Structure 1
Amino acid sequence: MKHVVELSNVTKIFSNLRGIHQVNMTVQRGDIYGFFGPNGAGKTTVMKIMTGLSQAQQGQVKLFGYDVKTQYEQAMAKVGVLIETAEAYTYMSGRRNLEQAARLYPGVSKQRIDEVLEIVDLTPFQHEKVAGYSLGMKQRLGLAAAMLSKPELLILDEPTNGLDIEGMVHIREIILRLAREERITFLISSHLIHEMELMCNRIGIIHQGKLVREGLVSDLINGSPSLEAAYLREIQEVRGLAANA
Protein backbone atom coordinates (compact mmCIF):
# COMPACT_ATOMS: atom_id res chain seq x y z
CA MET A 1 0.00 0.00 0.00
CA LYS A 2 1.51 3.28 -1.14
CA HIS A 3 -0.58 5.65 1.00
CA VAL A 4 -0.32 5.10 4.75
CA VAL A 5 -2.41 8.20 5.54
CA GLU A 6 -5.22 9.62 3.40
CA LEU A 7 -7.33 12.63 4.35
CA SER A 8 -10.20 13.62 2.07
CA ASN A 9 -12.01 16.97 2.54
CA VAL A 10 -11.59 16.87 6.33
CA THR A 11 -13.36 19.82 7.96
CA LYS A 12 -13.99 20.88 11.55
CA ILE A 13 -15.12 24.40 12.47
CA PHE A 14 -15.23 25.55 16.09
CA SER A 15 -17.63 28.03 17.66
CA ASN A 16 -15.08 30.83 17.21
CA LEU A 17 -15.16 30.04 13.45
CA ARG A 18 -11.57 28.83 13.51
CA GLY A 19 -10.74 25.27 12.54
CA ILE A 20 -9.72 23.30 9.46
CA HIS A 21 -11.29 23.46 6.03
CA GLN A 22 -11.40 20.64 3.46
CA VAL A 23 -7.94 19.27 4.20
CA ASN A 24 -6.72 16.75 1.60
CA MET A 25 -3.45 15.10 2.51
CA THR A 26 -1.48 11.91 1.84
CA VAL A 27 1.50 10.35 3.61
CA GLN A 28 3.28 7.65 1.65
CA ARG A 29 5.02 4.60 3.08
CA GLY A 30 8.60 5.50 4.00
CA ASP A 31 7.95 9.24 4.29
CA ILE A 32 9.19 11.53 6.98
CA TYR A 33 6.34 13.93 6.35
CA GLY A 34 6.58 17.37 7.90
CA PHE A 35 3.25 19.00 8.71
CA PHE A 36 4.24 22.63 8.99
CA GLY A 37 2.42 25.77 10.02
CA PRO A 38 2.39 28.51 12.65
CA ASN A 39 0.82 27.99 16.07
CA GLY A 40 -2.97 27.92 15.70
CA ALA A 41 -2.91 26.91 12.04
CA GLY A 42 -4.74 23.64 12.71
CA LYS A 43 -1.97 21.03 12.95
CA THR A 44 -3.05 19.51 16.26
CA THR A 45 -6.71 19.54 15.22
CA VAL A 46 -5.87 17.51 12.12
CA MET A 47 -3.78 15.04 14.14
CA LYS A 48 -6.48 14.58 16.78
CA ILE A 49 -9.04 13.83 14.08
CA MET A 50 -6.58 11.51 12.38
CA THR A 51 -6.12 9.47 15.56
CA GLY A 52 -9.76 9.45 16.68
CA LEU A 53 -9.26 11.90 19.56
CA SER A 54 -11.66 14.33 17.87
CA GLN A 55 -14.40 13.98 15.28
CA ALA A 56 -14.49 15.77 11.93
CA GLN A 57 -17.73 17.39 10.81
CA GLN A 58 -17.01 16.42 7.25
CA GLY A 59 -14.59 14.24 5.29
CA GLN A 60 -12.80 10.95 5.75
CA VAL A 61 -9.52 9.77 7.29
CA LYS A 62 -7.92 6.44 6.35
CA LEU A 63 -4.86 4.88 7.95
CA PHE A 64 -3.45 1.84 6.13
CA GLY A 65 -6.66 1.81 4.09
CA TYR A 66 -8.99 1.63 7.12
CA ASP A 67 -11.51 4.35 7.95
CA VAL A 68 -10.67 5.84 11.36
CA LYS A 69 -14.34 6.53 12.12
CA THR A 70 -15.82 3.13 11.26
CA GLN A 71 -12.77 0.80 11.51
CA TYR A 72 -10.88 2.39 14.37
CA GLU A 73 -9.11 -0.66 15.80
CA GLN A 74 -7.85 -1.80 12.38
CA ALA A 75 -6.82 1.75 11.44
CA MET A 76 -4.80 2.27 14.63
CA ALA A 77 -3.30 -1.22 14.91
CA LYS A 78 0.04 -0.18 13.39
CA VAL A 79 0.13 3.41 14.65
CA GLY A 80 2.05 5.03 17.51
CA VAL A 81 0.98 8.48 18.68
CA LEU A 82 2.49 11.34 20.66
CA ILE A 83 0.08 14.30 20.65
CA GLU A 84 1.06 17.53 22.40
CA THR A 85 3.08 17.10 25.62
CA ALA A 86 4.33 13.65 26.61
CA GLU A 87 2.38 12.63 29.72
CA ALA A 88 3.91 10.48 32.43
CA TYR A 89 3.50 9.61 36.10
CA THR A 90 6.25 11.71 37.63
CA TYR A 91 6.37 9.68 40.86
CA MET A 92 7.23 6.53 38.88
CA SER A 93 10.46 5.60 37.15
CA GLY A 94 10.76 5.81 33.39
CA ARG A 95 10.70 2.04 33.14
CA ARG A 96 7.63 1.73 35.38
CA ASN A 97 5.83 4.24 33.16
CA LEU A 98 6.57 2.09 30.13
CA GLU A 99 5.38 -1.02 31.95
CA GLN A 100 2.09 0.77 32.64
CA ALA A 101 1.79 1.88 29.03
CA ALA A 102 2.55 -1.64 27.82
CA ARG A 103 -0.67 -2.86 29.45
CA LEU A 104 -2.59 -1.07 26.69
CA TYR A 105 -1.10 -3.34 24.03
CA PRO A 106 -1.26 -7.14 23.74
CA GLY A 107 1.97 -9.08 23.98
CA VAL A 108 4.49 -6.32 24.81
CA SER A 109 7.40 -8.13 26.40
CA LYS A 110 10.07 -7.07 28.89
CA GLN A 111 12.50 -7.34 26.00
CA ARG A 112 10.50 -4.81 23.98
CA ILE A 113 10.63 -2.35 26.88
CA ASP A 114 14.39 -2.85 26.99
CA GLU A 115 14.54 -2.21 23.23
CA VAL A 116 12.62 1.08 23.26
CA LEU A 117 14.62 2.36 26.23
CA GLU A 118 17.78 1.64 24.26
CA ILE A 119 16.41 3.28 21.11
CA VAL A 120 15.68 6.57 22.89
CA ASP A 121 18.89 6.43 24.97
CA LEU A 122 17.14 6.21 28.35
CA THR A 123 18.54 2.87 29.51
CA PRO A 124 20.95 4.50 32.02
CA PHE A 125 18.07 6.53 33.50
CA GLN A 126 15.28 3.93 33.40
CA HIS A 127 15.05 3.48 37.18
CA GLU A 128 15.05 7.20 37.98
CA LYS A 129 11.76 8.92 38.78
CA VAL A 130 10.36 10.94 35.89
CA ALA A 131 10.10 13.95 38.22
CA GLY A 132 13.86 14.30 37.79
CA TYR A 133 13.83 14.01 33.99
CA SER A 134 14.55 16.99 31.76
CA LEU A 135 11.94 18.03 29.18
CA GLY A 136 13.96 16.29 26.48
CA MET A 137 14.08 13.07 28.48
CA LYS A 138 10.30 13.24 29.01
CA GLN A 139 9.78 13.67 25.27
CA ARG A 140 12.02 10.68 24.58
CA LEU A 141 10.07 8.65 27.14
CA GLY A 142 6.86 9.60 25.34
CA LEU A 143 8.41 8.52 22.06
CA ALA A 144 9.43 5.20 23.65
CA ALA A 145 5.84 4.64 24.84
CA ALA A 146 4.54 5.35 21.34
CA MET A 147 6.89 2.69 19.96
CA LEU A 148 5.98 -0.16 22.32
CA SER A 149 3.65 -1.85 19.84
CA LYS A 150 6.26 -1.79 17.03
CA PRO A 151 4.26 0.69 14.92
CA GLU A 152 4.75 1.16 11.20
CA LEU A 153 3.54 4.78 11.44
CA LEU A 154 4.46 7.29 14.15
CA ILE A 155 2.38 10.47 14.48
CA LEU A 156 4.28 13.08 16.48
CA ASP A 157 2.86 16.49 17.36
CA GLU A 158 5.61 19.08 17.93
CA PRO A 159 8.12 16.52 19.31
CA THR A 160 10.89 19.12 19.65
CA ASN A 161 8.75 21.96 21.02
CA GLY A 162 10.37 23.63 24.02
CA LEU A 163 13.60 21.67 23.76
CA ASP A 164 17.05 23.21 23.75
CA ILE A 165 19.36 22.69 20.77
CA GLU A 166 20.87 19.50 22.17
CA GLY A 167 17.40 18.07 22.88
CA MET A 168 16.17 18.90 19.37
CA VAL A 169 19.21 17.28 17.78
CA HIS A 170 18.75 14.17 19.91
CA ILE A 171 15.09 13.74 18.89
CA ARG A 172 15.95 14.39 15.25
CA GLU A 173 18.71 11.78 15.27
CA ILE A 174 16.34 9.20 16.79
CA ILE A 175 13.69 9.88 14.13
CA LEU A 176 16.17 9.64 11.26
CA ARG A 177 17.62 6.41 12.69
CA LEU A 178 14.17 4.83 13.09
CA ALA A 179 13.18 5.78 9.55
CA ARG A 180 16.39 4.30 8.20
CA GLU A 181 16.77 1.17 10.34
CA GLU A 182 13.18 0.31 11.36
CA ARG A 183 11.50 1.54 8.15
CA ILE A 184 8.97 3.53 10.20
CA THR A 185 6.88 6.14 8.40
CA PHE A 186 6.59 9.47 10.24
CA LEU A 187 4.07 12.29 10.28
CA ILE A 188 5.58 15.12 12.31
CA SER A 189 4.01 18.49 12.99
CA SER A 190 6.11 21.53 13.79
CA HIS A 191 6.27 25.29 13.55
CA LEU A 192 10.09 25.08 13.37
CA ILE A 193 10.78 25.06 9.66
CA HIS A 194 14.54 24.55 9.99
CA GLU A 195 13.86 21.27 11.80
CA MET A 196 11.49 20.22 8.99
CA GLU A 197 14.14 20.91 6.37
CA LEU A 198 16.72 18.80 8.23
CA MET A 199 14.42 15.81 8.77
CA CYS A 200 11.70 15.57 6.15
CA ASN A 201 11.50 14.40 2.55
CA ARG A 202 7.89 15.61 2.07
CA ILE A 203 6.02 18.49 3.65
CA GLY A 204 2.51 19.86 3.90
CA ILE A 205 1.98 23.55 4.65
CA ILE A 206 -1.16 24.49 6.60
CA HIS A 207 -2.23 28.13 6.83
CA GLN A 208 -5.36 29.35 8.60
CA GLY A 209 -6.84 25.87 8.59
CA LYS A 210 -6.21 25.10 4.93
CA LEU A 211 -3.53 22.85 3.44
CA VAL A 212 -2.07 25.25 0.90
CA ARG A 213 0.76 23.11 -0.46
CA GLU A 214 2.02 19.54 -0.27
CA GLY A 215 4.99 17.90 -1.94
CA LEU A 216 8.64 16.93 -1.88
CA VAL A 217 10.86 19.32 0.06
CA SER A 218 13.14 19.57 -2.99
CA ASP A 219 10.20 20.58 -5.21
CA LEU A 220 8.89 23.11 -2.71
CA ILE A 221 12.27 24.81 -2.40
CA ASN A 222 12.51 25.00 -6.22
CA GLY A 223 15.26 27.58 -6.53
CA SER A 224 14.68 29.28 -3.18
CA PRO A 225 17.70 29.52 -0.87
CA SER A 226 15.89 27.56 1.88
CA LEU A 227 12.61 25.96 2.85
CA GLU A 228 11.90 29.04 4.97
CA ALA A 229 12.13 31.26 1.90
CA ALA A 230 9.94 28.85 -0.06
CA TYR A 231 7.35 28.90 2.73
CA LEU A 232 7.22 32.71 2.77
CA ARG A 233 6.78 32.69 -1.00
CA GLU A 234 3.88 30.23 -0.72
CA ILE A 235 2.14 32.27 1.98
CA GLN A 236 2.52 35.49 -0.01
CA GLU A 237 0.91 33.78 -2.99
CA VAL A 238 -1.97 32.51 -0.83
CA ARG A 239 -2.56 35.97 0.62
CA GLY A 240 -2.44 37.47 -2.84
CA LEU A 241 -5.04 35.04 -4.13
CA ALA A 242 -7.27 35.74 -1.12
CA ALA A 243 -7.01 39.48 -1.64
CA ASN A 244 -8.03 39.12 -5.31
CA ALA A 245 -10.89 36.70 -4.63
Structure 2
Amino acid sequence: MNPVAEIKQLTKIYGNLRGIHDVNMTVQQGDIYGFFGPNGAGKTTVMKIMVGLSKAQQGEVKLFGYNVATHYEQAMAKVGVLIETAEAYTYMSGRRNLELAARFYPGVGKQRVDEVLETVDLTPFQHEKVAGYSLGMKQRLGLAAAMLSKPELLILDEPTNGLDIEGMVHIREIIMRLAREERITFLISSHLIHEMELMCSRMGIIHQGRLVREGLVSELVNGSATLEEAYLREIKEVRGLAAHA
Protein backbone atom coordinates (compact mmCIF):
# COMPACT_ATOMS: atom_id res chain seq x y z
CA MET A 1 0.00 0.00 0.00
CA ASN A 2 1.15 3.53 -0.78
CA PRO A 3 0.88 6.29 1.84
CA VAL A 4 -1.68 8.89 0.79
CA ALA A 5 -1.20 11.10 3.85
CA GLU A 6 1.88 11.23 6.07
CA ILE A 7 1.95 13.29 9.27
CA LYS A 8 5.20 13.62 11.19
CA GLN A 9 5.78 15.23 14.58
CA LEU A 10 2.84 17.61 14.15
CA THR A 11 2.60 20.07 17.03
CA LYS A 12 0.44 23.13 17.68
CA ILE A 13 -0.11 24.50 21.20
CA TYR A 14 -2.70 27.18 21.92
CA GLY A 15 -2.61 29.87 24.60
CA ASN A 16 -4.59 27.68 27.00
CA LEU A 17 -1.86 25.01 26.59
CA ARG A 18 -4.24 22.71 24.74
CA GLY A 19 -3.52 21.54 21.23
CA ILE A 20 -1.69 18.65 19.58
CA HIS A 21 1.69 17.23 20.53
CA ASP A 22 4.07 15.31 18.26
CA VAL A 23 1.35 13.58 16.21
CA ASN A 24 2.57 10.92 13.78
CA MET A 25 0.11 9.04 11.58
CA THR A 26 -0.15 7.50 8.12
CA VAL A 27 -3.18 6.98 5.90
CA GLN A 28 -2.60 4.26 3.32
CA GLN A 29 -4.20 4.08 -0.11
CA GLY A 30 -7.54 2.27 0.20
CA ASP A 31 -8.02 3.00 3.89
CA ILE A 32 -11.20 4.09 5.54
CA TYR A 33 -9.14 5.59 8.34
CA GLY A 34 -11.02 6.50 11.50
CA PHE A 35 -9.50 9.34 13.49
CA PHE A 36 -11.12 8.77 16.86
CA GLY A 37 -11.14 10.75 20.09
CA PRO A 38 -13.44 12.69 22.42
CA ASN A 39 -14.46 16.26 21.71
CA GLY A 40 -11.50 18.57 22.25
CA ALA A 41 -8.90 15.84 21.72
CA GLY A 42 -7.33 17.62 18.71
CA LYS A 43 -8.94 15.92 15.72
CA THR A 44 -10.10 19.09 13.97
CA THR A 45 -6.78 20.85 14.66
CA VAL A 46 -4.90 18.06 12.88
CA MET A 47 -7.30 18.12 9.93
CA LYS A 48 -7.18 21.91 9.57
CA ILE A 49 -3.38 21.79 9.43
CA MET A 50 -3.56 18.95 6.89
CA VAL A 51 -5.62 21.04 4.45
CA GLY A 52 -3.86 24.37 5.02
CA LEU A 53 -6.53 26.06 7.16
CA SER A 54 -4.12 26.33 10.09
CA LYS A 55 -0.35 26.31 10.54
CA ALA A 56 1.65 23.92 12.67
CA GLN A 57 4.35 25.11 15.01
CA GLN A 58 6.35 21.98 14.31
CA GLY A 59 6.23 18.97 12.00
CA GLU A 60 5.02 18.37 8.46
CA VAL A 61 2.14 16.98 6.44
CA LYS A 62 2.54 15.30 3.06
CA LEU A 63 -0.41 14.44 0.83
CA PHE A 64 0.40 12.23 -2.16
CA GLY A 65 4.07 12.92 -1.48
CA TYR A 66 3.78 16.73 -1.51
CA ASN A 67 4.42 18.90 1.52
CA VAL A 68 1.29 20.93 2.26
CA ALA A 69 3.30 23.88 3.59
CA THR A 70 5.59 24.23 0.56
CA HIS A 71 3.64 22.68 -2.35
CA TYR A 72 0.03 23.34 -1.41
CA GLU A 73 -1.61 23.15 -4.85
CA GLN A 74 0.08 19.86 -5.74
CA ALA A 75 -0.69 18.39 -2.31
CA MET A 76 -4.38 19.28 -2.48
CA ALA A 77 -4.94 18.44 -6.17
CA LYS A 78 -6.51 15.03 -5.38
CA VAL A 79 -8.12 15.91 -2.05
CA GLY A 80 -11.74 16.68 -1.14
CA VAL A 81 -12.53 18.26 2.22
CA LEU A 82 -15.49 18.66 4.55
CA ILE A 83 -14.33 20.28 7.79
CA GLU A 84 -16.83 20.83 10.62
CA THR A 85 -20.30 21.94 9.41
CA ALA A 86 -21.27 21.72 5.74
CA GLU A 87 -21.81 25.30 4.53
CA ALA A 88 -24.28 26.24 1.81
CA TYR A 89 -26.39 29.16 0.62
CA THR A 90 -29.74 28.27 2.15
CA TYR A 91 -31.74 30.52 -0.21
CA MET A 92 -30.45 28.58 -3.22
CA SER A 93 -31.23 25.08 -4.37
CA GLY A 94 -28.88 22.21 -3.66
CA ARG A 95 -28.03 22.00 -7.34
CA ARG A 96 -27.27 25.72 -7.62
CA ASN A 97 -24.91 25.46 -4.65
CA LEU A 98 -23.01 22.68 -6.39
CA GLU A 99 -22.91 24.57 -9.68
CA LEU A 100 -21.31 27.53 -7.90
CA ALA A 101 -18.79 25.28 -6.16
CA ALA A 102 -17.97 23.58 -9.49
CA ARG A 103 -16.72 26.89 -10.89
CA PHE A 104 -13.60 26.53 -8.71
CA TYR A 105 -12.56 23.35 -10.54
CA PRO A 106 -11.45 23.47 -14.20
CA GLY A 107 -13.40 21.07 -16.37
CA VAL A 108 -16.08 20.29 -13.78
CA GLY A 109 -19.51 20.93 -15.28
CA LYS A 110 -23.13 19.83 -15.40
CA GLN A 111 -22.39 16.14 -15.86
CA ARG A 112 -20.26 15.97 -12.72
CA VAL A 113 -22.90 17.84 -10.73
CA ASP A 114 -25.43 15.24 -11.90
CA GLU A 115 -23.07 12.44 -10.82
CA VAL A 116 -22.44 13.69 -7.29
CA LEU A 117 -26.12 14.43 -6.71
CA GLU A 118 -26.88 10.84 -7.71
CA THR A 119 -24.07 9.49 -5.51
CA VAL A 120 -25.40 11.17 -2.34
CA ASP A 121 -29.04 10.42 -3.19
CA LEU A 122 -30.09 14.06 -3.58
CA THR A 123 -31.23 13.98 -7.21
CA PRO A 124 -34.94 14.05 -6.27
CA PHE A 125 -34.34 17.13 -4.08
CA GLN A 126 -31.81 18.99 -6.21
CA HIS A 127 -34.12 21.91 -7.09
CA GLU A 128 -35.37 22.47 -3.52
CA LYS A 129 -33.90 25.32 -1.49
CA VAL A 130 -31.31 24.19 1.05
CA ALA A 131 -33.29 26.02 3.76
CA GLY A 132 -35.76 23.14 3.57
CA TYR A 133 -33.13 20.39 3.79
CA SER A 134 -32.76 18.24 6.90
CA LEU A 135 -29.37 18.19 8.66
CA GLY A 136 -28.60 14.86 7.02
CA MET A 137 -29.37 16.24 3.57
CA LYS A 138 -27.13 19.25 4.23
CA GLN A 139 -24.29 16.92 5.23
CA ARG A 140 -24.80 14.89 2.07
CA LEU A 141 -24.75 18.11 0.03
CA GLY A 142 -21.45 19.02 1.69
CA LEU A 143 -20.11 15.57 0.82
CA ALA A 144 -21.25 16.06 -2.78
CA ALA A 145 -19.38 19.39 -2.95
CA ALA A 146 -16.23 17.73 -1.59
CA MET A 147 -16.48 15.11 -4.35
CA LEU A 148 -16.82 17.48 -7.31
CA SER A 149 -13.16 17.33 -8.30
CA LYS A 150 -13.12 13.50 -8.31
CA PRO A 151 -10.74 13.30 -5.32
CA GLU A 152 -8.72 10.24 -4.45
CA LEU A 153 -8.68 11.23 -0.76
CA LEU A 154 -11.68 12.59 1.15
CA ILE A 155 -11.06 14.24 4.54
CA LEU A 156 -14.28 14.40 6.55
CA ASP A 157 -14.51 15.97 9.99
CA GLU A 158 -17.37 14.50 12.06
CA PRO A 159 -19.61 13.83 9.00
CA THR A 160 -22.32 12.15 11.12
CA ASN A 161 -22.26 14.58 14.05
CA GLY A 162 -25.76 15.60 15.10
CA LEU A 163 -27.53 13.21 12.74
CA ASP A 164 -30.28 10.80 13.74
CA ILE A 165 -29.76 7.06 13.28
CA GLU A 166 -31.16 7.04 9.75
CA GLY A 167 -28.93 9.95 8.75
CA MET A 168 -25.83 8.28 10.20
CA VAL A 169 -26.55 5.03 8.40
CA HIS A 170 -27.09 6.88 5.12
CA ILE A 171 -23.73 8.71 5.34
CA ARG A 172 -21.96 5.51 6.38
CA GLU A 173 -23.40 3.56 3.45
CA ILE A 174 -22.33 6.28 1.00
CA ILE A 175 -18.77 6.30 2.36
CA MET A 176 -18.43 2.53 2.23
CA ARG A 177 -19.86 2.42 -1.31
CA LEU A 178 -17.43 5.10 -2.51
CA ALA A 179 -14.49 3.27 -0.95
CA ARG A 180 -15.55 -0.01 -2.55
CA GLU A 181 -16.70 1.15 -5.99
CA GLU A 182 -14.60 4.28 -6.66
CA ARG A 183 -11.52 3.31 -4.62
CA ILE A 184 -11.58 6.59 -2.70
CA THR A 185 -9.42 6.71 0.42
CA PHE A 186 -11.05 8.29 3.49
CA LEU A 187 -9.81 10.02 6.62
CA ILE A 188 -12.82 10.45 8.90
CA SER A 189 -12.83 11.97 12.38
CA SER A 190 -15.48 11.10 14.93
CA HIS A 191 -16.16 10.82 18.65
CA LEU A 192 -18.71 8.06 17.95
CA ILE A 193 -16.78 4.83 18.40
CA HIS A 194 -19.60 2.53 17.26
CA GLU A 195 -19.66 4.31 13.89
CA MET A 196 -15.89 3.89 13.58
CA GLU A 197 -16.11 0.17 14.32
CA LEU A 198 -18.79 -0.39 11.67
CA MET A 199 -17.09 1.63 8.95
CA CYS A 200 -13.32 1.81 9.30
CA SER A 201 -10.49 -0.49 8.29
CA ARG A 202 -7.77 1.36 10.23
CA MET A 203 -7.87 3.81 13.11
CA GLY A 204 -5.82 6.28 15.05
CA ILE A 205 -6.79 7.10 18.64
CA ILE A 206 -6.04 10.63 19.85
CA HIS A 207 -6.22 11.57 23.54
CA GLN A 208 -5.45 15.00 24.96
CA GLY A 209 -3.65 16.01 21.78
CA ARG A 210 -1.47 12.91 21.47
CA LEU A 211 -1.92 9.98 19.11
CA VAL A 212 -1.79 7.05 21.51
CA ARG A 213 -2.45 4.17 19.10
CA GLU A 214 -2.73 3.48 15.39
CA GLY A 215 -3.46 0.29 13.48
CA LEU A 216 -6.01 -2.05 11.92
CA VAL A 217 -9.32 -2.09 13.76
CA SER A 218 -8.86 -5.83 14.29
CA GLU A 219 -5.46 -5.16 15.92
CA LEU A 220 -6.86 -2.46 18.18
CA VAL A 221 -9.65 -4.72 19.44
CA ASN A 222 -7.06 -7.44 20.24
CA GLY A 223 -9.17 -9.77 22.36
CA SER A 224 -11.70 -7.22 23.59
CA ALA A 225 -15.38 -7.82 22.90
CA THR A 226 -15.78 -4.40 21.26
CA LEU A 227 -13.72 -1.46 20.05
CA GLU A 228 -15.22 0.57 22.90
CA GLU A 229 -13.72 -1.81 25.46
CA ALA A 230 -10.38 -1.70 23.65
CA TYR A 231 -10.43 2.11 23.68
CA LEU A 232 -11.19 2.30 27.40
CA ARG A 233 -8.39 -0.18 28.10
CA GLU A 234 -5.97 1.87 26.00
CA ILE A 235 -6.86 5.16 27.73
CA LYS A 236 -6.56 3.53 31.16
CA GLU A 237 -3.02 2.44 30.26
CA VAL A 238 -2.14 5.93 28.99
CA ARG A 239 -3.42 7.54 32.19
CA GLY A 240 -1.53 5.00 34.27
CA LEU A 241 1.72 5.78 32.46
CA ALA A 242 1.12 9.54 32.85
CA ALA A 243 0.51 9.14 36.59
CA HIS A 244 3.86 7.37 37.04
CA ALA A 245 5.85 9.69 34.75
In the TM superposition, residue 57 of structure 1 has moved relative to its aligned partner by: 0.3
SS at match of 2:159: coil
Structure 2 stretches lacking a partner, 5+ long: none
Q: Does 1:176 align with 2:176?
A: yes
Query: What does residue 151 of structure 1 align with?
Result: 151
> Within 5 A, what are the aligned runs for 1:151-230?
151-230=151-230
Q: Aligned-pair RMSD on alpha carbons? A: 0.5
Structure 1 stretches lacking a partner, 5+ long: none
Q: Does 1:53 align with 2:87?
A: no
Query: AA paired with 2:223?
Result: G
Query: What does residue 68 of structure 2 align with?
Result: 68
Q: What is the distance in 1 between the residues matched to 2:167 and 2:232?
A: 27
Query: What does residue 41 of structure 1 align with?
Result: 41
Query: What does residue 243 of structure 2 align with?
Result: 243
In the TM superposition, residue 225 of structure 1 has moved relative to its aligned partner by: 0.3
Query: What does residue 124 of structure 2 align with?
Result: 124
What TM-score comes out, normalization by structure 1 length?
Answer: 1.00
Runs of 4+ in 1 over 6 A off after TM superposition: none
What TM-score comes out, normalization by structure 2 length?
Answer: 1.00
**Count of aligned pairs:** 245
Deviations 1:175-197 (A, max 9, x none): 00000000000000000000000
In the TM superposition, residue 128 of structure 1 has moved relative to its aligned partner by: 0.1
Query: AA paired with 2:107?
Result: G
SS at match of 1:30: coil
Q: Percent same amino acid among aligned pairs?
A: 87
Q: What is the distance in 2 between the residues matched to 1:168 and 1:110?
A: 28
Query: What does residue 23 of structure 2 align with?
Result: 23
Query: AA paired with 2:145?
Result: A
Q: What is the distance in 2 between the residues matched to 1:232 and 1:36?
A: 12
Query: AA paired with 1:113?
Result: V
Q: What is the distance in 2 between the residues matched to 1:8 and 1:175?
A: 27
Q: What is the distance in 1 between the residues matched to 2:229 and 2:70?
A: 41
Question: Does the 8 A contact of 2:10 with 2:21 survive in 1?
Answer: yes
Q: What is the distance in 2 between the residues matched to 1:27 and 1:10?
A: 15
Q: What is the distance in 1 between the residues matched to 2:106 and 2:207?
A: 39
Q: What is the distance in 1 between the residues matched to 2:206 and 2:106?
A: 36
Q: What is the distance in 2 between the residues matched to 1:222 and 1:23?
A: 23
Decide which moves more: 79-88 or 103-112: 103-112
In the TM superposition, residue 38 of structure 1 has moved relative to its aligned partner by: 0.1
SS at match of 2:175: helix
Query: AA paired with 1:76?
Result: M
Deviations 1:135-157 (A, max 9, x none): 00000000000000000000000
